Structure formats: structure tokens, C-alpha cells
């Protein structure tokens, strides 16, 4: 799954672990798996113990039926349980897309556990949903399509999962399939062809409109207490429609932001630039 890493399982999560040093948790996004870190995690493992799980509902992790299991709060608790099992109390945390939303919630709910936080190509969930512009709704229509009650979107996607999910990879800032590593694409396709994974990913979005919006509304004034790095695709949908750093500045006590060349999926399409940004963050992944 990730070169040089060892695959592990807990009762609910599949993950890959490599390296030695301070713990670093990497969380992938939709519609991917932990394979998205294949060109980034091995380099970070030269200085850190790197843990790359599949999110609940994704990849080889468990795919519970109950919707509440897919809230960002519930998934954050799963990540904390994983790190407890591995013996890591405090750790650096990096997330992309849905993984970044889980990471944001984890940092709010367990601030004593997170040393540094890196969020990739998201604006706050509460901001996106309560200040929804028509241009964003057109680009991010999938939030509302996937959130429709089961089995409507699930069955439509299952008719041709490659066509649907590849359309997602090619959107939100533009890309072509040749921009993605062939081995990683194979891993993604293997995962998203599973009907249970399709249901799990839909449930991720269903939970947002039921559970996450309530949690985020209650915490609308909460601030991230650790140093935060905000990375975003220079040509991505979020950068086109928002001042991404400005959406995060009121929510952070200490923040640095940087645009990465490419669209939403820059960890896949620009792994070298992504890695350089991660390694440059003080106290997080810099080489000694």
C-alpha cells in the first residue's frame, strides 16, 4: 500500500505504519484511501513514525451501517483510539479533504493531543454550508448528491464507479488521469468498486448534513490552539471562490498558509511541493 510501510489492523481500522521518531498521523480524503500518501509518507518516515489509516467507510477499514459513526467527531474518536493503541499521546496531524475535516474536529475536541495541525484544501465546514455561494454549490454539488438518502446515490454510482469517482478526481481545480500515479489509481479503483465503500463514502456526506453541521454550529467560535498550517491548491475550487487563509485566520491562534501548485488533489499531483511544505513547518516535519 505504501512503500516500506507495514500494514496493521485494529478491530475497526486498517492502517500503514513506517519510520521511527515523533508520531505523525496522516488522514486521506474522498474518494481516496491511505494510498494517497505513497509518495509523501516514506519521506516523512525518515524523521517520524508515520501512521496512515483508511478513514471509517473507506479502503480496508470497517464500514459501519449507523450514520453517526461517520460524523467527524466519531471519526476523530476512532483516530484517537488508534493512536492510544499505538502508544502515542501527542502527535502531529495532517489531513486532506475529508481527512482534514476529521483533523479539524480532533484538534478542537482533544487539543492536548495535537502538537501541530495541517489542513489541506478545505475551508471550515460551517463556513461552506452557511455561506454557500452558487458557484461553490455547482463545483461541490457532490456534497448534496452523496448526502441523499440510501440507496439513491449509492445505486447510481455503482452502475459505473470508475466513471463517477474519476470525474471527482478530475474536478475541483482541474487535472487529468495522467497526473495521478497509476499504482495509486489502481488502489483507489479497487476500493471504490466495493458497494460497501460506496455506501460508506455516501454516509460520510450524509452525516455532515445531520451531525457535523450541528457540532460545528455549536463550536462556531472555537479556535485551534496548536500551530496550524493551511495548504490549498492554487488553482483549486476553494482558492477560486474564497480567500482560504482568511476563512481560517479567526479560527486559529497561530497560523501559516501556503498555496501549492495544482487543484484540489495536489498531494497526488504535486507530491514534491506538498512534501516540501510539510517539511518546512516549524516543529512538525522539518528534517534535523
| Active site amino acids | 97, 264
Do residues 49 and 22 make contact, with C-beta atoms less than 8 angstroms apart?
A: yes
Residue 80 phi, psi dihedral angles, 5° rounding: -65, -40
Secondary structure (DSSP) of 181-225: -HHHHHHHHHHHTSHHHHHHHHHHHHHIIIIIHHHHHHTTT--B-
The residue written with cell numbers 448534496 in the block is 144
Cα 137 off chain centre by: 20
Max CA separation in the chain (angstroms): 51
The residue written with cell numbers 471504490 in the block is 192
State how far the Cα of 278 lies from the Cα of 189, in Å rounded to an integer. 27
Residue 40 phi, psi dihedral angles, 5° rounding: -110, -45
Listed residue (12, 8, 11, 24) closest to 75, CA to CA:
12
Do residues 184 and 177 make contact, with C-beta atoms less than 8 angstroms apart?
A: no
State how far the Cα of 288 lies from the Cα of 271, in Å rounded to an integer. 21
Per the structure block, which three cell numbers stand in for 39?
509518495
Per the structure block, which three cell numbers stand in for 3?
512503500
In what helix (H) or strand (E) does residue 238 lie, and over which residues does it extend? helix 237-241
Do residues 223 and 252 make contact, with C-beta atoms less than 8 angstroms apart?
A: yes
The CA-to-CA distance between both ends of the chain, in Å, stands at: 27
Amino acid at each position: 500500500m505504501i512503500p516500506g510501510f507495514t500494514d496493521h489492523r485494529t478491530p475497526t481500522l486498517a492502517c500503514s505504519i513506517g519510520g521511527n521518531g515523533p508520531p505523525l498521523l496522516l488522514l486521506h480524503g474522498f474518494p481516496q484511501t491511505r494510498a494517497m500518501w505513497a509518495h509523501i509518507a516514506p519521506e516523512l518516515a525518515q524523521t517520524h513514525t508515520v501512521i496512515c489509516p483508511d478513514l471509517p467507510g473507506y479502503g480496508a477499514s470497517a464500514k459501519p451501517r449507523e450514520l453517526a459513526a461517520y460524523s467527524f467527531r466519531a471519526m476523530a474518536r476512532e483516530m484517537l483510539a488508534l493512536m492510544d493503541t499505538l502508544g502515542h499521546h501527542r502527535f502531529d496531524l495532517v489531513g486532506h479533504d475529508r481527512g482534514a475535516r476529521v483533523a479539524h474536529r480532533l484538534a478542537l475536541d482533544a487539543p492536548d493531543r495535537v502538537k501541530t495541525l495541517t489542513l489541506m484544501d478545505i475551508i471550515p465546514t460551517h463556513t461552506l454550508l452557511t455561506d454557500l455561494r452558487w458557484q461553490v454549490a455547482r463545483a461541490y454539488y457532490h456534497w448534496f448528491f452523496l448526502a441523499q438518502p440510501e440507496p439513491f446515490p449509492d445505486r447510481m454510482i455503482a452502475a459505473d464507479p470508475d466513471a463517477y469517482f474519476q470525474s471527482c478526481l478530475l474536478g475541483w481545480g482541474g487535472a487529468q488521469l495522467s497526473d495521478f500515479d497509476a499504482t495509486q489509481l489502481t488502489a483507489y479503483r479497487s476500493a471504490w468498486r466495493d458497494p460497501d465503500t460506496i455506501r460508506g463514502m455516501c454516509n460520510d456526506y450524509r452525516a455532515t448534513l445531520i451531525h457535523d453541521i450541528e457540532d460545528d454550529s455549536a463550536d462556531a467560535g472555537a479556535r485551534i490552539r496548536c500551530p496550524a498550517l493551511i495548504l490549498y491548491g492554487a488553482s483549486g475550487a476553494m482558492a477560486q471562490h474564497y480567500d482560504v487563509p482568511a476563512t481560517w485566520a479567526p479560527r486559529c491562534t497561530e497560523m501559516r498558509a501556503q498555496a501549492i501548485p495544482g487543484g484540489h488533489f495536489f498531494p497526488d499531483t504535486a507530491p514534491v511541493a506538498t512534501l516540501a511544505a510539510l517539511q518546512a513547518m516549524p516543529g512538525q516535519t522539518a528534517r534535523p
